[in-house]
Amino acid sequence: MTSSKNQVIKREIICGIDEAGRGPVLGPMVICGVCFIESKLKILSEIGVKDSKKLSAKQRSKLAKLIKQNCESYKTIIVNAQEIDAREEKRITLNRLEEIKMAEILNELKPDVIYIDAADVNEERFKKSILKQLNYSPKKIISKHKADDLFPVVSASSIIAKDLRDNIIEDLKKKYGELGSGYPSDIQSIEFLREWIREKKKVPHFARKSWETTKKIVREELFNTKITDFMN
């Protein structure tokens, strides 16, 4: 998408990278990297790009289309529940899995300057870990907490990621019924998961078995180990 244009004039490519769906018990995590020519970054403010969590689903959907139309390139990776669970066997953390996927995106897009929403409590460590996995040398990497609130280009990646996850969740609802947002704090999601496990005697393929929320429901519904059992 960028090669023919870049042959005409050298322009600095700026990339924002972020995830959506790191914490839910239902549905995938989606990671997105989106690249803009530096001179076109002002478009993001003009169209109203901001942290995806501060936008409605309808606003995110509209903005995601505009971002894709105006960006230089973008790439998304869907990390499903099975892959998230498999990290336990591989003995890697969720942070590490996120780093691997982000590096995969960056190695394809190859931007000059990278802005990352740091998943690690240590921003610099997160930056260095990703840098080690790159197959090229970017000019600069900025790794910050809440980067999606600080840098519009990261907000843009967050919007695309969240919009894609929203669409995946909507597709699951059409197929399996109302399951809420998928987050452990969502009573509707927990009731859906509990009812599924109670009826089908197994965890749905789109639920994260490694999450303590799922393990607790499995213990209670399949092995009858509710806390009240120990109070008699």
Q: What is the pLDDT at residue 81?
A: 97
* 3 state DSSP class of 13: strand
Instruction: Tell me whether strands 140-144 and 113-117 are parallel, antiparallel or unpaired.
Output: parallel
Judge whether 8-174 and 177-230 match in fold: no
Fold of 177-230: Arc Repressor Mutant, subunit A (1.10.10)
CATH of domain 8-174: 3.30.420.10
* Residue-range domain boundaries for the chain: 8-174, 177-230
Q: What is the pLDDT at residue 6?
A: 44
Q: What is the pLDDT at residue 171?
A: 97
Q: What is the pLDDT at residue 174?
A: 97
Q: What is the pLDDT at residue 52?
A: 83
Q: What is the pLDDT at residue 116?
A: 97
CA–CA distance, 172 with 207 (Å, rounded to integer): 11
Q: What is the dihedral of CA 163, 95, 151, 180, to 10 degrees?
A: 30
Residue 135 DSSP symbol: S
Taking only the tens of pLDDT, the chain with its 232 residues reads: 444 444 445 589 999 999 999 999 999 999 999 999 999 999 999 999 987 888 899 999 999 999 999 999 999 999 999 999 999 889 999 999 999 999 999 999 999 999 999 999 999 999 999 999 999 999 999 999 999 999 999 999 999 999 999 999 999 999 999 999 999 999 999 999 999 999 999 999 999 999 999 999 999 999 875 544 444 4
Intra-chain end-to-end CA distance of the chain, in Å: 67
Q: What is the pLDDT at residue 32?
A: 98
Residue burial 75-87, b: 16+ Cβ < 10 Å; e: rest: bbbbbebebbbeb
Tokens representing residue 137 in the block? 């040398």
